[in-house]
Amino acid sequence: FDAVTLAAELALAIDPQFIGKGLGRILVEHLIRAARAHGMREIWGDTQAGNFAMLGLTRRLGFTHDRKRDDASLVRFFLNIDSAAAHERDTSS
């Protein structure tokens, strides 16, 4: 968490034997709740453009994606914490 920008950087690594079992989703959802509880306004991170698992996970959780202008091999994903609360309500019903 960065107390100045009120943003949290997300980096995630999952052991290959646990990929596809929902662990990434659980961890990111926990981070979203923790960030909200600590007054954060945004969560962001970078991933390789070919990391379809991470891109899919973040998209399903309501993150916005943007190609990095200075490095086409990277995608920045970011989530406004207030919009995350609305997304959680929408997907939990």
Mean pLDDT score of the chain: 86
- Name the pLDDT band for 83 (thresholds 50, 70, 90): low
In-domain check, residue 4: no
CATH of the domain at 55: 3.40.630.30
Write down the pTM of the prediction: 0.78
Total tally of structural domains belonging to the chain: 1
- Name the pLDDT band for 92 (thresholds 50, 70, 90): low
In-domain check, residue 9: no
What was the pLDDT predicted at 90?
A: 52
Is it the case that residue 11 has pLDDT exceeding 60? yes
Helix H, strand E, coil C: the string for the chain is CECCCCEEECCCCCCHHHCCCCHHHHHHHHHHHHHHHCCCCEEEEEEECCCHHHHHHHHHCCCEEEECCCCCCEEEEEEEHHHHHHHHHHHHC
Domain span at 38: 18-92
